[in-house]
Amino acid sequence: MGAVPDGLREDATWSTIARAAAGDLAARESFSCTYLPVVRSLLEARWRTTPLADEVDDAVQEVFVQFLRPDGVLSRADAAKGDLRGLLFGVARNIAARFEERARERLGRDRSAASGLDLVEAREPSLSLVFDRAWAQALLRLAGERMRAQAELGDAGARLRIELLRLRFAEGIPLRDIAAQWEMDPDAVHRSYGKARAEFRACLRRIVAEQTVSSETDLDTEVRRILDILT
């Protein structure tokens, strides 16, 4: 993989994780900023309408304590296995189970209050999908940040393609209207859009490669899966 361009915020990749495990504060901040929304999405969905709905913040904090403490999960993480998604999901689910067990003990015989917790296990497949969607969104944000950083080091065309993607996806403006606004030939805008999408996909592929050790075929499959989740 190529060097990370200067000015790019650190990605929470395995190299960053190794530094976070060694106590690097910037790497720890990068890891937390990237994946805290993923864990929060899972726990909010898991505990909605349950007695634990107000304890999401405490549980999220506990998940990251487990990762970032000196003898925590990151210090034992094995890049050779390359499954950061599975590691994050597993720790979040284990912490959630601990909170749920303590809640059941507090509630005792109050079955009406505990009924929501009893349904969590049956909802595991749908909760996994919630996590996968939040995970995919996190990786797309990383890919977008990387593409923007690379564009800042490139020419005017590279920066224009970043703006083109923003207008098309964030603003929802059709390409023909963008062409009219920019007073450009619609075919030229379409060509720029195709190149921008290819550049974004290449950035996403590199991000996924840094998260997961896999074959080229598996890597392409995972990129398609991530894009499919969000479409």
Domain ranges of the chain: 9-119, 137-231
DSSP-assigned states of every residue in 91-145:
HHHHHHHHHHHHHHHHHTT-HHHHHHHHTTGGGHHHHHHHHHHHHHHHHHHHHHH
Let me know: does 121 contact 93? Beta carbons within 8 Å.
no
pLDDT at 2: 34
> CATH code for 137-231?
1.10.10
Let me know: does 46 contact 96? Beta carbons within 8 Å.
yes
CA distances from 205 to 3, 77, 85, 186, 219 (A): 15, 22, 15, 28, 7
Closest alpha carbon to 200 in 167, 155, 165:
165
Annotation: CATH topology of 9-119: Rna Polymerase Sigma Factor; Chain: A (1.10.1740)
pLDDT in tens, the chain (231 residues): 333 333 334 455 677 788 888 888 998 998 999 999 999 999 999 998 888 999 999 999 999 999 998 888 888 877 676 678 888 999 999 999 999 988 888 877 666 656 667 778 778 889 999 999 999 999 999 999 999 999 999 899 999 999 999 999 989 999 999 999 999 999 999 999 999 999 999 999 988 888 776 688 888 899 999 999 987
pLDDT at 218: 85
Let me know: does 132 contact 229? Beta carbons within 8 Å.
yes
pLDDT at 148: 93
**CA pair distance 169, 8, nearest whole angstrom:** 22
**CA pair distance 126, 120, nearest whole angstrom:** 10
pLDDT at 1: 32
Q: In the 3-class helix/strand/coil scheme, how is 31-85 assigned residue by residue? A: HHHHHHHHHHHHHHHHHCCCCCHHHHHHHHHHHHHHHHCCCCHHHHCCCCCCCHH
pLDDT at 5: 36
Closest alpha carbon to 145 in 156, 137, 134:
137
**CA pair distance 214, 211, nearest whole angstrom:** 10
